[in-house]
Amino acid sequence: MRISTIAFANLRRRKGKALFLVAGMAIGIGTVVALWSLSGSIKDEIGAQLDRFGANIIILPQANSLALDYGGISVSGVSFDVQQLRDEDARRIFEIPYRKRLSVVAPKLLSAVEVEGRPVLLVGVDFSAELRLKRWWRIAGRKPEGEHELLAGYEAARDLGLIEPAGPPANAVPGSSHHRSEEQPEFTITRDRVRIGGREHRVTGVLSQTAGPEDRMLFGALAHVQALAARPGRLSVIEVSALCKDCPVEDIVAQIRQQLPHAKVSAIQQAVRARTEMVERLTRFSVVVSAVVLAIGALMIFTTMMGSVVERTREIGVLRAIGFRRVHVIQGLILEVAAISIAGGLLGWATGMLAGRAALPYFSDGGAGLEVRSSLALVAVVAGLLVGVLASIYPAIRASRLDPSEAVRHM
Amino acid sequence: MPFVVLENVGKLYREKGAASAARVLSGVNLRIREGEFACLMGPSGSGKSTLLTIVGAMSRPSEGRVLVDGIDVYALPEERRADFRREYLGFVFQQHHLMPYLNALENAMLPLATLRLRAPEKRRRALAVLEKVGLANLASRLPNQLSGGEQGRLAIARAIVNDPPLILADEPTGTLDSKTGAEIMDVFLGLNAQGQTIFMVTHNADNALLAHRTIQIRDGRVADGDGADVPASAV
């Protein structure tokens, strides 16, 4: 016979009330577990999507620049000590410790060329990397595959007379293709040949208007553009998309800086901030809802325990009369609640995980999976214990302070 | 040297919001010798139960002192007073107040729950007192499976399991028929014969006649509480 014997025997006697408390606790904890599991999965999914949605790190050649100002008149600046980026730099990025976090490394060479008397920016890219990086690009036609094949931005294509703005299909020349978006036609491709550096190139695709800088560019295979520009192996910029689920992008930036000391490596803060803000919002939402649910659970336990103390005044009085200290009374009541809380926490974890799994398809596009985390079971039990014990402290203290003579009089 | 001494004990009760306090006990002087069986009798509302709870270290008197075995009970801090109740006193209540969810053995063991004794020792002691009150064969029964008399005996077993020097009983036969009441009184007399000091509140004059001494209480005042009329040889 120990105090725990009395506590557990009492729970057995009041099965209905104990089950009610366990169920209440399980619902509260289960809601929190489901919420955290769901928000965790959704956070991961959003993070992964944001990470994939464009570059979050940009690498440029290191250069010192000097702004030129003469008598208050600003003259264009000059750059000196310009370092060079090379093909092997793009490969060396994959040697950083966080290389598994690298989703896309897209090297580029920018070169100004003249096409049919017009200056155009020709960008040499690795098309497979570039198209993985720029998932929002929509190509009318197909991506270039051969050395002499190009992809044209919307404005560049329009200025070079490669396309005509949307019109009836009758305006299209024979053999041309007609590009329509889902809602309305955007443009019609009228011709597909251009001469650059004395050689003919075929424009295999035109980008739908993006309102970005790529609208004014032509894109070709990196090696070909390097040859055209007479800058073999040289790069102007490397864009990197890093998956930063569990790591700050700044760490990856630091590692790339270490790998490429001659380059200027910086995180695109907008992308980082967007991700951080989204994750923080979800976390705040989870915290607030969890706090409300747990507060309701605590209130339920508090009122039940207060009622239980009143109901058990006589019993507590007898225990005090036969020599139980106040601390023994508190111990007995807390043990009861602890047993309920542990059961409720475990049940809550199980139901929360099941509910989370059932609800996930309604909140996710299917990219996220609900990870069954046993560590969350421990958190659920500890949270249940904390809520249960904290909510019972006052009723338990109140019970311990019952005057035994009053309790005996209650008899 | 008396085992229990009450010196000029008084008790005032003030209800919440009441302008003045009601006096329940006034100038009570009482002495109970070791091994004595004393009964306290008086009409309803005379302060019997209040006096019992004061002797039982449960209700602080408004005035006066209570000494048990030379210990000034109300000079003890609250938690020490709980220890004192466990070590020195055994309570038998009118309604018995057994724990309905514990069997007879567990009920008898209840005062041992807070002691650092090994489980077999607790069990041995509880079985011994159940044997003493004739309930050893009903150890596994729940209180509602026992008769009124058996419940009364179980309440006595619980009161003596700690081997306390003093038993306080509040009308232990009050709810029992005369035959069962007599059985309970036999248990008390048997314990007293073995040297147990007993202080019992009762309405029953026949029970009081079985005690060494009957103390009368009326309007919160006790007459002849010092027990000078009881010869030491009678105890």
Nearest-angstrom CA–CA distance, B158 and A144: 95
B208 touches chain A (CB under 8 A): no
Distance from the first to the final alpha carbon of chain A = 25
Chain A residues in contact with B109 by the CB 8 A cut-off are 1
> Which of A10, A319, A325 is facing B101, going by the closest CB pair?
A10
Q: Is there a contact between A411 and B93 if contact means CB atoms under 8 Å apart? A: yes
Maximum CA extent, chain B: 55
pLDDT at A275: 65
pLDDT at A178: 55
pLDDT at A331: 94
A42: left (phi over 0), alpha (psi -120 to 50) or beta: alpha
Residue of B nearest to A329 (CA): B114
Q: Is there a contact between A323 and B87 if contact means CB atoms under 8 Å apart? A: yes
Nearest-angstrom CA–CA distance, B126 and B133: 11
> Which of B58, B101, B109 is facing A321, going by the closest CB pair?
B58
Chain B residues in contact with A5 by the CB 8 A cut-off are 106, 113
What count of Cα atoms within 13 Å lies in the side-chain half-sphere of residue A132? 15
Report the candidate in A55, A58, A51 with the shortest Cα–Cα distance to residue A237.
A58
pLDDT in tens, B44-76: 888 998 999 999 999 999 999 999 999 999 999
Regions of chain A with pLDDT less than 50: 170, 172, 174-175, 181, 411
B15 touches chain A (CB under 8 A): no
Q: Is there a contact between B106 and A5 if contact means CB atoms under 8 Å apart? A: yes
Chain B residues in contact with A403 by the CB 8 A cut-off are 58-59
> Which of B86, B119, B122 is facing A322, going by the closest CB pair?
B86
Q: What are the beta bridge partners of residue B169?
A: B92, B200
pLDDT at A271: 63
Task: Find the chain A residues whose C-beta atoms sit closer than 8 A to any C-beta of B.
Answer: 1-3, 5-6, 9-10, 12-13, 314-315, 318-328, 403-405, 408-409, 411
Chain A residues in contact with B85 by the CB 8 A cut-off are 320-323
Task: Tell me how far CA of residue A45 lies from CA of A278, A284, A367, A368, A383, in angstroms.
Answer: 11, 17, 6, 5, 26
pLDDT at A411: 43
B85 touches chain A (CB under 8 A): yes
Q: Indicate the helix (H) or strand (E) that contains A38.
A: helix A15-52
Q: What are the beta bridge partners of residue B207?
A: none
Residue to substitute from B11, B51, B58, B160, interface A, most A β-carbons within 10 A: B58
Q: Is there a contact between A9 and B83 if contact means CB atoms under 8 Å apart? A: no
pLDDT at B21: 82
In this prediction, residues B166-173 reach a mean pLDDT of: 92
Closest CA of chain B from A1, distance in Å: 5
Q: Indicate the helix (H) or strand (E) that contains A277.
A: helix A269-311
Closest CA of chain A from B199, distance in Å: 16
Q: Is there a contact between B78 and A326 if contact means CB atoms under 8 Å apart? A: yes
Q: Is there a contact between A6 and B99 if contact means CB atoms under 8 Å apart? A: yes
Residue to substitute from A331, A402, A408, A409, interface B, most B β-carbons within 10 A: A408
Contact A189, A177 (CB under 8 A): yes
pLDDT at A70: 63
**Is the alpha carbon torsion for A26, A30, A33, A36 positive or negative?**
negative
Give the residue extent of every domain in chain A: 3-50+277-409, 56-65+81-170+182-267
Chain A residues in contact with B119 by the CB 8 A cut-off are 1
Instruction: Give yes or no for residue B234 having a pLDDT over 60.
Output: no
Nearest-angstrom CA–CA distance, A308 and A312: 6
Nearest-angstrom CA–CA distance, A198 and A6: 97
Asked if the interface predicted TM-score (ipTM) of this complex is over 0.95, the answer is no
Residue to substitute from A11, A322, A411, interface B, most B β-carbons within 10 A: A322
Strands (DSSP E) along A55-182, which ranges? 57-61, 64-70, 73-80, 85-86, 102-115, 118-125, 139-141, 149-152, 163-165, 178-180
Angle at which helix A269-311 crosses helix A313-321, to 10 degrees, equals: 70
Per-residue exposure over B25-59, b if at least 16 CB sit within 10 Å of its own CB, e if not? bbebebbbbebbbbbbbbeeebbbbbbbbbbbbbb
**Is the alpha carbon torsion for A293, A295, A296, A298 positive or negative?**
positive
Q: What are the beta bridge partners of residue B39?
A: B200, B214
pLDDT in tens, B117-166: 999 999 999 999 999 999 999 999 999 999 999 999 999 999 999 999 99
Residue to substitute from B13, B97, B144, interface A, most A β-carbons within 10 A: B97
Residue of B nearest to A327 (CA): B79
pLDDT at B11: 93
Q: Is there a contact between A320 and B58 if contact means CB atoms under 8 Å apart? A: yes
List the 144-173 stretch of B: residues with Cβ below 8 A of A: 158, 162, 170
Task: Tell me how far CA of residue B14 lies from CA of B20, B65, B140, in angstroms.
Answer: 7, 20, 44
pLDDT at B156: 93
| CA A303, chain centre distance (Å) | 40
Angle at which helix A3-13 crosses helix A326-363, to 10 degrees, equals: 50
| pTM of this structure | 0.68
The one-letter amino acid at A69 = D
